Amino acid sequence: MKTEFLRFKTHLSVILMLSATIILQSCSSDDTENEGINETPQNLTSIIDDILSVGQPANQPGLAVLIKKDGQLAYQQTKGLARISDNLPINPNTGFRIGSITKTFTALAIMQLVEQDLISLEDKIVDILPELPNVYTAMTVKQLLDHSTGLLDYIDDNTDITALDNLTTSQVIDLIPISGLENLLFEPGSAAEYSNTGYVFLALIIEKISGETYPEYMANHIFTPLGMSNTFVISENEHLGDRNDNYALNFGNFIKVKGFNSLIYGASGIVSSINDLNLFVEAVLRHEIVMETTLNSMILPSSSISWLGDYGLGWITGTGSNYWHQEINLTDSNDYWHIGGFDGYRSILSINPDLNLEIIILTNNGDASQELSYSIVRNTREYYKGN
C-alpha cells in the first residue's frame, strides 16, 4: 500500500501542469451526464470535463466521479471501460474494488460494537483472539485502528506475494509464523506505521464478537440498511463477478491483483460504486451508522504516520505533513477522508466540513487514473474556495 502511495509523487509536476492548462481553457459544457444536477456551478463541469478530455480515453480503463456541494449533486461523470474485452463502459453503478476505503467501513463496524458495550477500545486483542501469538499481548483494539501496533504489513512486508493467492482472512493467522509477522517494528503505542495486517485482525474481532462473518456483518448492519445494492465483500464465498456483470476489472483486464486472487478482507476487499458510496457518505453525515460523538472521536488525530499524515480511527485526518497536503492541497485541517490503492484500482473518499464538500472517485487504471483523480480533487477544492 505504501509503495503505491509513493508512486504518486513522481507525477506531481505533470498533474500541476495539466491542471493549470485546464483552468485557463475552461468553458461551459452541455454534457448530458450532468443533466438534472442541482445548482451546478457554471464552469466546474467544464473544468472537470476538460481534465477528463485531456487525460482519459474512452476506450481505456477509466473512472467514476461524484461530487456534492452543500448536500446537492454538483458533478457526476463516468468515462472509460470497466472491462476492455467486453467493451463495457463504466457507469454510476459499476462496482470497483475500493481498496483501503474498506478500513473506514471496518472501523465503523468496530465502533458500532463499542457503542453497544460489546468491546472496548482498550481491550487487548489477544483476549479476543487468543490464537494470536504472545508477542501481540500488549496490543489494543484502538492501536489496531490507528496503526500504532508495530505490526508488519502482510502485503508490503511479504517477500512471497504468491503465498497470498486464494488465502482467506482466517488463514492470515496461519501465515504469521512463516512470514515474519511475529516481528514488530516498534513497541505497541510508541509510534505508528500503516499496516493492513491490523485491519485483518479487526475483521476477525468483528466476527468473534458479533457471531457473524465479516461479509454478513457488513451486509446486515451497513450495506443493506443503507440500500447499497451494488456493494459487497469479496471472500471465499463471493468473488468479483458473482453478483452481477456490472463490475470493473483491474486495469480493465484482470480479476487478480498483484498476481494473486485476493480474498482477504478487513483492510480491503469491499466492492462498491459511486452511487452506493454516496449513500454511505450521506449516512455517515446523518449519523446513521454511528452516533455523532462517536464519529467525532474517530476523525480526531490519534497517531501520526510519517509518509501519510495523521490518522484517526479508520479515517485519515486533514492534519500532519505529507506531500499531497503540501503540494496538491488535498486536505484542510478538518477534512476526514481515505484513499485506496490496490494494483490498478485507485479510490478517494473525501469529506470537507468547511466547504461542505464531498468527493468520491473510483478508478481501475492505476497511476494514470490517480493523476486524474488528484487533479479533479485539487481543482474542485480550489474552485469552491474561490467562489
- Average pLDDT for residues 234-252, to the nearest whole number? 96
- Residues 336-346 as b or e (16 or more Cβ within 10 Å = b): bbbbbbbbbbb
> pLDDT tens digits, residue range 148-174?
999 999 998 887 888 899 999 999 999
What's the confidence (pLDDT) of residue 15?
39
pLDDT for residue 40 is more than 80: no
Interior angle at CA 65, CA 8 and CA 85, nearest 5: 85
Q: Which residues contact 134 (CB under 8 A, 6 or more apart)?
A: 126
pLDDT given at position 37: 53
pTM of the predicted protein model: 0.90
Q: How far is residue 227's CA from residue 277's CA, in Å, rounded to a whole number?
A: 10
pLDDT at position 41 over 60: no
Average pLDDT over residues 280-302: 98
User: Percent of the chain, pLDDT > 70?
Assistant: 86
Going by pLDDT thresholds of 50, 70 and 90, the confidence category of residue 322 is: low
Mean pLDDT of all residues in 79-86 = 97
**CA-CA-CA-CA torsion sign (88, 369, 356, 276):** positive
Q: Considering the domain 91-298, what is its CATH architecture?
A: 3-Layer(aba) Sandwich (3.40)
Note the Cα 46 to chain centre separation in Å.
27
Residue 326 pLDDT grade (very low, low, confident, very high; cuts 50, 70, 90): low
With 60 as the cut, is the pLDDT of residue 92 above it?
Answer: yes
Tell the burial category of 13 from Cβ atoms under 10 Å away from its Cβ (0-12, 13-18, 19+): exposed
Collect all residues with Cβ–Cβ distance below 8 Å to 353 and sequence separation of at least 6. 334, 335
pLDDT band at 44 (very low <50, low <70, confident <90, very high): very high
Q: Which of 121-135, 149-163, 329-343 has the lowest mean pLDDT?
A: 329-343
Which of 103 and 326 is assigned the larger pLDDT? Answer: 103
Q: Which of 35-49, 94-108, 287-301, 337-351 has the lowest mean pLDDT?
A: 35-49
- Average pLDDT score over the chain: 89
Domain ranges of the chain: 1-55+365-387, 91-298, 302-337
Q: What distance in Å separates the CA atoms of residue 31 and residue 49, rounded to the nearest whole number?
A: 8
- What whole-number percentage of the chain has pLDDT above 90? 76
Quick check: 372 pLDDT over 80?
yes
- 172-179 and 196-210 helices cross at what angle (nearest 10)? 140
| pLDDT for 359 beyond 50 | yes
